[in-house]
Amino acid sequence: MTVHDDDILDFDFVDDETRELPAQTRPGGTRPPGGGPPSGPRGPRRPQFRAPQGITPLLRLAGFVGFAILVVVLFAVWVQGCAGDDTQTTYENYMADIGAVGLDSQKIGNDLATVLTTPGLTQTELETRLGGLIQQQQLDVTRAQDIDAPGPLTPANASAIEALNFRVSGLQGLLDTFRATKSTDDATVAGEQLAAQGQRLEASDVVWKDEFQGVATETMASEGVQDVKAPPSVFVQSSDLYTARSMSAIWQRVHGASTGGTSPGAHGSALAYTKVQPANIQLSTTNETKIDISTDLSFEVGVQNSGENQEVGVKVTLTIPAQPTPIVKNGTIDVIDPGETKIVTFADFPDFPFGENTTVQVSVKPVQGETNTGNNSAEYPVVFSLEPS
């Protein structure tokens, strides 16, 4: 047997137990340089498997990762909440700014109605006051154009500006028409031309309500903006003022004042009736009327133009002589044409003197030039009682 054979036999019969001895107990075993596995006379040893020393480091790592994710999520939620608050504030600020413009424009509309219904107003005075209102309204257009609207509200803001421009156009049209017709005698044609300009003013209210308020409300709902309302702006409080018939009478009145004359025909106003609502009971001057007190109780006063001329600024007063302080309500009819009857409603009363015999007194202030005042007032005997349950 050769030496080579001896080596083979020796290798084949190495005891398994000897193979598993630790490196430091292996006879003749040495660890080569570089930290590799020890080798001995039998050749290099195979690497040994080592079990994990514990799971604590892994748990620590997992906990750190989880905490980091939580921080990122909370930060994202915080950023989103801040962005939502900023959006809400932006919309609130915009609506406050455009609302101030709309409110000022609405006041100009009320001032226009006052101008048109001022007794004795001359052509020169009318032109001067209309010119001032036009300048004020143009300033509102400029203010609206300077407002920085949130991106989604850009179309709605453009509609608000369009409505304000309609008002400038209508006011300018009224002024131009009064100037162009001051030397004519055709009140009917003048009234129709003036009414056409009034239609521009009425159209401005439609544009503001539908194209600004409506669109802005829908936009804010889609953007998730809550508790923010698009403000109204009503330029024409009474469309009756801008009818062809009404504008014709206004033109005649201004013409008469400008020439130093008076409108032909009689002037007059009359108290037509007084009703209790919602019961729709007409009061009598001779028989006592029982009135059941309720939260929606109101008095409806009918006033008739008994003359032959348009009347403006007709004052109506309702009085209940309760003790210790009388209840007094006042109302005004802006404009009323000959033969026309208009209603003034009085509501929102304090406590009534129930259980007592009292009266409801109604009076219509005589208009300029009125000579017959016998039908301008009435006193109705009444008794107020608690509404039956």
pLDDT at 347: 95
Q: Do residues 150 and 90 share a domain?
A: yes
Q: Is residue 165 part of a domain?
A: yes
Residue 60 counted as domain residue:
no
b (16+ CB within 10 A) / e for 351-372: ebeeeeebbbbbbbbbbeebee
pLDDT at 338 over 60: yes
Q: What is the pLDDT of residue 352?
A: 87
Q: Are 294 and 192 found together in one domain?
A: no
pLDDT in tens, 179-234: 999 999 899 999 999 999 999 999 999 999 999 999 999 999 999 999 999 999 99
Q: Are 194 and 286 in the same domain?
A: no
Same domain, 201 and 148: yes
Range of the domain at 123: 73-258
| 43-44 and 269-277 beta bridge pairing | unpaired
What is the Cα–Cα distance from 121 to 115, expressed in whole angstroms?
8
Give the span between the Cα atoms of 292 and 279, in whole angstroms.
9
**Is the confidence at residue 23, as pLDDT, over 70?**
no
- pLDDT on residue 31: 52
The reported pLDDT for the residue numbered 6 is 46
Which of 215-219, 242-246, 371-375 has the highest mean predicted lDDT (pLDDT)?
A: 215-219
Task: Tell me which of 258, 287, 315 is where a domain ends.
Answer: 258
**170 is written with which tokens?**
């209508």
| Within a domain: 109 | yes
Q: Tell whether 343 is covered by a domain.
A: yes
Confidence of residue 48 (pLDDT cuts 50, 70, 90): low
Tell how far CA 80 is from the center of its chain.
27
275 and 189 part of one domain: no
| Confidence check: pLDDT of 19 > 90 | no
Is 135 a member of any domain?
yes
What would the pLDDT profile of 3-15 be if each residue is shown by its tens digit? 444 444 444 444 4
Number of structural domains found in the chain:
2
- Other beta carbons within 10 angstroms of residue 19's beta carbon come to 11
When the pLDDT of each residue in the chain is averaged and rounded to a whole number, the result is: 85
Q: Are residues 305 and 163 in the same domain?
A: no
87 shares a domain with 188: yes
**In this structure, what are the phi and psi dihedrals at residue 317, rounded to the nearest 5 degrees?**
-130, 135
pTM, to two decimals: 0.67
User: Domain with 298 in it: what CATH number?
Assistant: 2.60.40.10
Regarding whether 319 and 373 lie in a shared domain, the answer is: yes
Of 225, 258, 291, which closes a domain?
Answer: 258
Q: List, for residues 79-133, the tens digit of each pLDDT value.
A: 455 545 688 999 999 999 999 999 999 999 999 999 998 888 899 999 999 999 9
Do 206 and 324 lie in one domain? The reply is no
Q: Is the pLDDT of residue 33 over 90?
A: no
* Alpha carbon of residue 81 to chain centroid: 25
Same domain membership, residue 222 and residue 187: yes
Are 331 and 369 found together in one domain?
Answer: yes
Q: How much is the pLDDT for 138? A: 98
Pair (131, 211) in one structural domain: yes
User: Does residue 105 lie in a domain region?
Assistant: yes
Reduced to 3 states, what is the DSSP secondary structure of residue 294?
coil
CA distance 147 to 164: 14
Q: Per residue in 59-76, is it b (16+ CB within 10 Å) or e — as a string?
A: eeeeeeeeeeeeeeeeee
Q: Check residue 323 and give its pLDDT.
A: 81
Q: Is residue 284 part of a domain?
A: yes
The Cα 252–Cα 116 span in angstroms is 12
367 belongs to a structural domain: yes
pLDDT band at 387 (very low <50, low <70, confident <90, very high): low
Among 237, 258, 279, give the residue marking a domain's end: 258
Closest by alpha carbon to 112, among 264, 312, 272, 297? 312
